[in-house]
A and B are shown apart, each in its own frame.
Chain A
Amino acid sequence: MEEKIITKENLIKLSTDLVNEGFNVIAPSEKGYTLLQTDPLLSLSDSQPLPKSPFKGYLFPKTEPLFYYKKGQHDYEFVDVNLQNVKNIFLAAKPCDAASVNILSKVFNWDYKDEFFDIRADNSLVISMACSTSDEYCFCTSVGLSPVSTKGADLFMIPLAGDKYAIRIVTDKGKSFAEKYSKYFSDGNSVESEKVLAGIKAPEQSFDTAKVKDWLDKNFESEFWNGIAATCLACGQCAFSCPVCHCFDIVDEDYSYKEGRRMKNWDACQFGLFTEHASGHNPRDNQAKRYRQRISHKFKYYKDKFDEVLCTGCGRCTRGCPVSIDIKEIVTEINNLN
């Protein structure tokens, strides 16, 4: 992989240029991935902990209008949404968040193409950075990723001694970007960066997704599911802070008698009413069934359909769970049952 070097000073100059050119430069902070122009403190050290929420909200917003409608005298008129001037640059993203772009793209593009996601993703550049802040809740190594994975990234940063970063060019999009702003980069080699990467501690692998899927293939009706997640409050926090959960709802909202908009909002399979029919019949009427769906969708159905595990091992679901339900613990149990 071609490698360049950029000093911290130049990186800040580059970010300022990008902001002035109209890009949304988004970097991790404690609160989540925030826009650089509104949050000037840019912490680019590799000891920046995992932000509380992922950056999926910039590609798949928590709420967005699909179109606006106006009621005319005999007809309805549609007003389209314009997404053309959305340009994002994700800077120093965590590898587990960067990987989410490819994974999400699969469901939004099979058969019908969801342009709301595609336009945003096509106009975004992902620059991820090697991560050395894994804690007891992280398990990226169990789902085929690692703190130094380049999956989903266009450019990959590695912090070096002396306030410098190595930048590896992963995709063509990344290459064009590096060429466009070549005045900030100098040539590099991978000697020092390899040493840094080798020194990064990765979480120990807890389970093997192939073994887990094998068990899930055969055990839909197993006793294991009885009473699982008994303390779950059905709050939806796990789905909303997951970088790859993507279920959504479509609702209409009126402004007035004559106009309104159709909205696409985040939704979660953990909510009690998610699968309830108008007749009142609910195929998943208790939390154990809903939790079984969560695990099966992530580790079996998505893999069968799109050949990806619907999980990046970031651990946000467990860290944020009000009752500390640990997905890593449960999936490891399944792994050991096999």
Chain B
Amino acid sequence: MENIYKPYLMEIKEIIEETSDTTTFRLAFKDGSIGEKFDFKAGQFAEYSVFGEGECTFCIASSPTRKEFIECSFKKAGKVTTALDRLNVGDTIGFRGPYGNYFPVDEMKGSNVVFISGGIGLAPVRCVIDNVLDLRADFKDITIIYGARSVDDLVYKDKLEDWKKMPDVKTIVTVDPGGETPEWKGEIGFVPAIVEKAAPKAENTYAVVCGPPIMIKYTIPVLLKLGFDEKKIVTTLENRMKCGLGKCGRCNVGNVYVCKDGPVFTYEQMKELPQEY
């Protein structure tokens, strides 16, 4: 019997403490042959499980162009994430995926791309940033705007340094007013305000926006004012998902199952959905 609910087994190879409550796992398939065949696209998610506690949904944070590890980042929030937080290198977890749709990387080729994210929202965006940077020649200008509540809350600090060093990538990092330290040399301000200040040009540009709902709510009007096309503003919806297979009904919003027709949506598609997410 083909059991669509049965996960693959993954071993935790490395644990990185990003902030006080956010952790990144580097995982590898226990069965190497599955690891070799495994493929996914930037933006897809998976169901990670701790046996005995349950399953939990996060995006796959590593890029599909880098196959040594599967990476995921999560914030300690509920039952399963708390259990994941307690695991050590060498422990086994379950992995079901990849599910969902993906960022339109192919469509974005030949355009400028602006990546805007906040807090843990950098996790799904980082996957597509790495994917795009690995194919750098196919894209024009690349801008990365990222913000968090405070310097401590910035995730992927080493990646941010890497991107800042790249000459053909414009990287702007900001913290909320009050979150800066005396040594902080980056911007200070909420992400939507920094986007307005940076004023990326809208022509032939895709905007990838990911972060807390309130950040998205205030960033999109800024982008629209700058002249961005609704079809070229891409974001991810964070709904409560359970099966990931479009069956259990939990993520059903309007005619759409977020786990199958999302989690990546353009702003144009999001406007069509009933506003209950």
Measured CB to CB, the residues of A under 8 A from B are 66-67, 69, 71, 74-76, 78, 80-84, 107-108, 110-115, 119, 220, 246-252, 254, 260, 262, 264, 267, 269, 274-279, 281, 283-284, 289, 293, 296-297, 300-301, 304-305
B248 on the interface (CB 8 Å rule)? yes
B260 on the interface (CB 8 Å rule)? yes
Indicate if the CB atoms of A304 and B255 lie closer than 8 Å. Answer: yes
CB distance from A87 to the nearest CB of B (A): 16
Cβ contacts under 8 Å, B246 to chain A: 107, 110-112
B238 on the interface (CB 8 Å rule)? yes
Report the nearest A residue to B6, measured CB to CB: A67
For the complex, give the distance between the alpha carbons of A264 and B5 in Å. Answer: 10
B92 on the interface (CB 8 Å rule)? yes
For the complex, give the distance between the alpha carbons of A52 and B94 in Å. Answer: 40
Indicate if the CB atoms of A108 and B4 lie closer than 8 Å. Answer: no
Indicate if the CB atoms of B5 and A66 lie closer than 8 Å. Answer: yes
Indicate if the CB atoms of B5 and A67 lie closer than 8 Å. Answer: yes
For the complex, give the distance between the alpha carbons of A279 and B277 in Å. Answer: 13
CB distance from A159 to the nearest CB of B (A): 38
Indicate if the CB atoms of B255 and A115 lie closer than 8 Å. Answer: no
Report the nearest B residue to A71, measured CB to CB: B51
From B52-60, B135-143, B152-160, B193-201, the one touching the partner chain is: B52-60
For the complex, give the distance between the alpha carbons of A275 and B252 in Å. Answer: 10
Report the nearest B residue to A109, measured CB to CB: B247
CB distance from B46 to the nearest CB of A (A): 14
CB distance from B95 to the nearest CB of A (A): 12
B202 on the interface (CB 8 Å rule)? no
CB distance from B64 to the nearest CB of A (A): 21
A-B contact pairs, 21 of them (CB 8 A): A67-B5, A67-B6, A76-B51, A81-B1, A84-B1, A112-B4, A114-B247, A115-B2, A247-B250, A250-B243, A252-B50, A252-B53, A254-B52, A269-B249, A275-B240, A275-B276, A278-B78, A281-B213, A296-B254, A301-B252, A301-B255
CB distance from B270 to the nearest CB of A (A): 13
Cβ contacts under 8 Å, B5 to chain A: 66-67, 250, 262, 264
Indicate if the CB atoms of A278 and B81 lie closer than 8 Å. Answer: yes
CB distance from A137 to the nearest CB of B (A): 25
Cβ contacts under 8 Å, A279 to chain B: 77
Instruction: Give me 6 other A-B pairs in contact (C-beta within 8 A), A67-B6, A81-B1 excluded.
Output: A67-B5, A80-B6, A248-B248, A250-B54, A267-B250, A277-B239
CB distance from B211 to the nearest CB of A (A): 13
Question: Can you list the 8 inter-chain pairs with the closest CB atoms, starting with the nearest?
Answer: A278-B78, A247-B249, A278-B77, A283-B276, A66-B5, A112-B245, A304-B255, A254-B52
Cβ contacts under 8 Å, A110 to chain B: 246
Indicate if the CB atoms of B255 and A284 lie closer than 8 Å. Answer: no
B274 on the interface (CB 8 Å rule)? yes
Cβ contacts under 8 Å, A276 to chain B: 240
For the complex, give the distance between the alpha carbons of A82 and B1 in Å. Answer: 8
Cβ contacts under 8 Å, A78 to chain B: 6
Indicate if the CB atoms of B238 and A277 lie closer than 8 Å. Answer: yes
For the complex, give the distance between the alpha carbons of A83 and B92 in Å. Answer: 28
Indicate if the CB atoms of B1 and A250 lie closer than 8 Å. Answer: no
What 1/0 mask marks residues of chain B from 1 to 17 whose CB sits below 8 Å from any chain A CB? 11111100100000000
User: Which residues in window 226-255 of B have CB below 8 A to A?
Assistant: 238-240, 242-243, 245-250, 252-255
